[in-house]
Structure 1
Amino acid sequence: MMNNVHDLVASKKTLAEQDEMPLFAALVRYAEQEVTPFDVPGHKMGAQMNPLKEVLGEMTLRMDVNSMEELDLLSHPQSVIKKAQELAAAAFDADHAFFLVNGTTIGILAMIIAVCKPGEAMLVPRNAHKSVMEGIILSGANPIFIQPEIDYHFGISHNVSVSKVKKAIDTHPEAKVMLLTYPTYFGSMTDLSEICRLAHERNITVIVDAAHGAHLGFMPGDLADPISAGADAATISMHKTGGSLTQSSLLLLQNDRIPPQKIQQALNMLQTTSANYLLMSSLDVARRELVLYGSKQYDELKPIVEEAIKTIESASNYEVLKASYVKNQYNQAYDWTKLVIRVNGIGLTGFEVYKLLKEKYNIQVELAEGYVIMAVITSSDSKESIDRLVFALKEIESRFGKQMVVMSTNVTADLVNELVLNPRDAFYAEQELIAIEDAAGRISGDTLMIYPPGIPLVIPGEIISKEVIQQYHYYCETLGNVLTETKEADHITVIKENV
């Protein structure tokens, strides 16, 4: 791939092309016409005044329209959507790009369904997102879980190591597909280039959940994005770090291992037929902004973040996760835009600091865990916004900090649950609802999940261990709830024992 803003923008012709926003421009043109709509949506381009129009404005509702000839059709793009997707593919140095309006979740489901047949083995990190587990259920794949690197000091998981991936490939020659998370939720990046090389030697297709890596190819330095690293397909959440509207993502495809028509077919099965044009046009705009300005913005941000880290740690018991630490301890790269701050050294949990930041300083960080909080930095941040976070953290330590270190055995899961039933078979098996206290040793028919980050404690087909139950209670006590498929508190769905 191109270095930084991609070498592609060195070409004046290509730069001029990337300055275009074909879908966004067509949508604005349509909204500015004096159209009398007798199609859906029923608000008729905001014809009536209501609270939605008062807050969002007339133009927003005029741009919320239906598919038509001049605005193209997402399920069968021929004109402006096709052109916008081609520009997105060029921006990320991919062969094909597909607009997603149901988030990266739908891209992950489509990738899995397109490449993995029922019963085929798929290598997966156990700290994969819930959507990956759902893709496994939908496809009927047999998951082979790889344990990520566990960081007990920060209380989080990093990426899977190359050595563990190589062992999994050697141990399971039947594997047809490998799914990797890159970067992880907390910003760690394994040597994806080497893993792709190892996988492709065995004719294993590599697909990537790159939800948190839309910005990687536009940053200073040598951080590889998944396409340049050799992945066959990757789904990126442009709305997370790329600047588009929430729920809009891109699925990128390269090489010929996965036919593009297979991806399109899978997306058409899964994605709405009433694709939202505000979401799609925001992808058009965000792609342009990243290509034209992303590199400069991240160049300017990096020293600001570095100075902020020094200030946070100065005369303090905070500790910030850094690239040098991740490299030395786990031999992985690290995305510095994920500001992971270890707060248990000031005698508070991450959950307590998260709450204090919001209630006392009106600062919303991305998430909390037992030992850490995480703030996501994007090109939309500034010295002023980052300084506000730094000030609040320093004041929290001085006002609320305690002379102790918070420690808990429940912060980090370090065991892979035993999978005894294919997740799809478990999903369709006869089930019953029981108290979670009585569930140890039973086969789960449910997913227990903390969101964010959306990594399940247990999935259908896994044995529910005592450790899972302990973690469930830990998160219920600290967060207030754990997401489950059942609506009854402190209960879980399990497979009936005669199955």
Structure 2
Amino acid sequence: MNLYDSLLKYSEAGYYPMHMPGHKRNSRLLAMCDPYSIDITEIDGFDNLHRPEGILKVGMEAWSDLYNSRKTYYLVGGSSAGILTGISACTSRGDKVLVARNCHKSVYHALYLRGLEPVYLYPPVMKEFGINGGISVEQVEEHLKCQGDIKLIILTSPTYEGIVSDIRAIAAAAHSYGIPLMVDEAHGAHLGFHKGFPETAVRLGADVVVHSIHKTLPAFTQTALLHINGHLVEEEKIERYLAIYQSSSPSYVLMSGIEKCLELLKNNGIELFESYEKMLCGFYQEAKGFKNISILTDNTVTREGFYRFDPSKLVLSVKGTNMTGKELYEVLLHTYKIQMEMVSKDYVLGMTSIADRQEGFDRLLAALKEIDRRLGKETTTDRVMEYAPPKAVMSCEEALNAPFKEVLLSNSEGFISGEYVYLYPPGIPLLVPGERIEKELLTQITSCQKQGLSLQGLADYSGNTIRVISI
């Protein structure tokens, strides 16, 4: 069976999507003609993405007005194209940048391509759930005081699990040094549209913001937006790198989906967000009755000293029970036909959007109530593993271009890594080329493997060997 037939079969199988894309395959909310009938190239009357003067320019200006940005650009290569563009436009080769360690792998690709020197900000860990917290303004200010030559600050907010950093304060700190702030807000395109959600970084002072509208809004996979603000970012450079990192033949089907999303937000956004927020509140209220499953809430986040939480992310933990996150994920998928977004050691993550239906929340809630009743408590002595800064022996660029050899992962302690190791999703690297493989990190990597979590980046798909520098 080919991919197309497999997709059709899956769409008819009754699985509910608690995952991206944000359109949730909701055909009642979103209708479209046969995509082949509107699949064109840059013909007369339909503008050019890389030199917009007509219909595309009007659409991008409308998005700019909606988010209150200085300028907004369409992305048809996902947020990755925007992240590569933003970092490249704001730096020169070899510059030093302040970057959150829990950034997406596309940030690391940009560091490699531009030969940048990263100074890492390590997010603290929320011990109750074992997830990364937000970056504080105090962390940023401390580095800015010590590092006099930082050219750009790069953060992810919200995180994959919905933790939001204090972007307003961090932007103010960055600007006091004349440094631009870039925020990967890929998972926050819906922010700022309703009081029940945090404000968007676009309106909080960030100079470059990237949105994956396909993640949390009703739009096709691969569609995104890049916003710029202030005077620290040059439009000419942004547009130069957009032409490099995006296809010269952008999909008009994808771009039409971006504009259908815009139309939906402008015409029905208020009522859709009201209904969505009401469904979310109902879910969280019912989840208070769980005896064994824990759900992350704004109260939990603020109690642990972090800024805000995006309630669109359903973080469901079974830590301290006789079930693992992987087992919960599998039961939801195979018994209840609910496909979650991501699984980790102790929790599963569900992604929601304005395209969700009450049916989806009801199905998930009923499933979780049944599972919760069957769960038992179990004492755990597992230690929360925080990001320990691996020692960078050489730059990422040097390591990727250096001679290498393959060794057993289990015997790699002390070697210098010649490749990435990502926990995917969300694509955050546990190990970056050029960093020394320490015992504690190796233990963390092998632990993830034993739990059946998806580790990527290794050339050896089996995960038995790793490339290390041979000089």
- In structure 2, the partner of 1:495 is 469
- In structure 2, the partner of 1:271 is 246
**Post-superposition offset of 1:462:** 1.4
Q: After alignment, is 348-357 or 479-488 more displaced?
A: 479-488
Q: Is the 8 A contact 1:242 1:287 kept in 2?
A: no
Instruction: Please say which structure displays the higher CA radius of gyration.
Output: 1
- In structure 2, the partner of 1:307 is 282
- In structure 2, the partner of 1:156 is 131
- In structure 1, the partner of 2:377 is 403
- In structure 1, the partner of 2:78 is 103
- In structure 2, the partner of 1:433 is 406
Tell me how far apart the structure 2 counterparts of residues 460 and 242 of structure 1 sit (CA, whole Å).
Answer: 34
**Post-superposition offset of 1:297:** 2.2
**Cα distance, 1:336–1:73 mapped onto 2, change above 3 Å:** same
**Post-superposition offset of 1:416:** 1.9
Q: Is the 8 A contact 1:123 1:179 kept in 2?
A: yes
Tell me how far apart the structure 2 counterparts of residues 136 and 54 of structure 1 sit (CA, whole Å).
Answer: 39
**Cα distance, 1:322–1:421 mapped onto 2, change above 3 Å:** same
- In structure 1, the partner of 2:436 is 463
**Cα distance, 1:407–1:455 mapped onto 2, change above 3 Å:** farther
Give the secondary structure class of the aligned counterpart of 2:267. helix
Q: Is the 8 A contact 2:423 2:453 kept in 1?
A: no
* Aligned-residue CA RMSD (Å): 2.1
- In structure 2, the partner of 1:475 is 448
Letter of the aligned partner of 2:120 in structure 1? F
**Cα distance, 1:123–1:310 mapped onto 2, change above 3 Å:** same
**Cα distance, 1:180–1:329 mapped onto 2, change above 3 Å:** same
Q: After alignment, is 483-492 or 240-249 more displaced?
A: 483-492
- In structure 2, the partner of 1:47 is none
Provide Cα deviations, 1:127-158, integer angstroms capped at 9, x if missing partner: 11111111100111100001102112101111
Q: Does 1:370 align with 2:345?
A: yes
- For residue 422 of structure 2, the aligned residue among 440, 445, 449 is 449
Q: After alignment, is 477-486 or 105-114 more displaced?
A: 477-486
Provide Cα deviations, 1:390-449, integer angstroms capped at 9, x if missing partner: 1011112234x233155533x643312222222122222222222112221222121111
**Post-superposition offset of 1:299:** 2.3
Tell me how far apart the structure 1 counterparts of residues 270 and 381 of structure 2 sit (CA, whole Å).
Answer: 40
**Post-superposition offset of 1:198:** 0.6
**Post-superposition offset of 1:52:** 11
Count of matched residue pairs: 446
**TM-score normalized by the length of structure 2:** 0.90
Q: After alignment, is 423-432 or 456-465 more displaced?
A: 423-432
- For residue 143 of structure 2, the aligned residue among 125, 144, 168 is 168
Give 1:53-452 correspondences, 5 Å limit: 59-221=34-196, 223-399=198-374, 401-406=375-380, 408-409=382-383, 412-452=385-425
Q: Is the 8 A contact 2:134 2:306 kept in 1?
A: no
Give the secondary structure class of the aligned counterpart of 2:155. strand
**Cα distance, 1:257–1:76 mapped onto 2, change above 3 Å:** same
**Cα distance, 1:488–1:386 mapped onto 2, change above 3 Å:** closer
**TM-score normalized by the length of structure 1:** 0.85
**Post-superposition offset of 1:107:** 0.6
Provide Cα deviations, 1:340-363, integer angstroms capped at 9, x if missing partner: 112224321111101110000000
Tell me how far apart the structure 2 counterparts of residues 488 and 370 of structure 1 sit (CA, whole Å).
Answer: 20
Relative CO higher for 1 or 2, CA cutoff 8 Å, sep ≥ 6?
Answer: 2
Tell me how far apart the structure 2 counterparts of residues 407 and 420 of structure 1 sit (CA, whole Å).
Answer: 33
Give the secondary structure class of the aligned counterpart of 1:327. helix
- In structure 1, the partner of 2:14 is none
Q: Which runs of 5+ in 1 are unaligned?
A: 1-49
Tell me how far apart the structure 2 counterparts of residues 277 and 345 of structure 1 sit (CA, whole Å).
Answer: 49
**Cα distance, 1:54–1:388 mapped onto 2, change above 3 Å:** closer
Letter of the aligned partner of 1:418 in structure 2? K
Q: Which runs of 5+ in 2 are unaligned?
A: 12-31
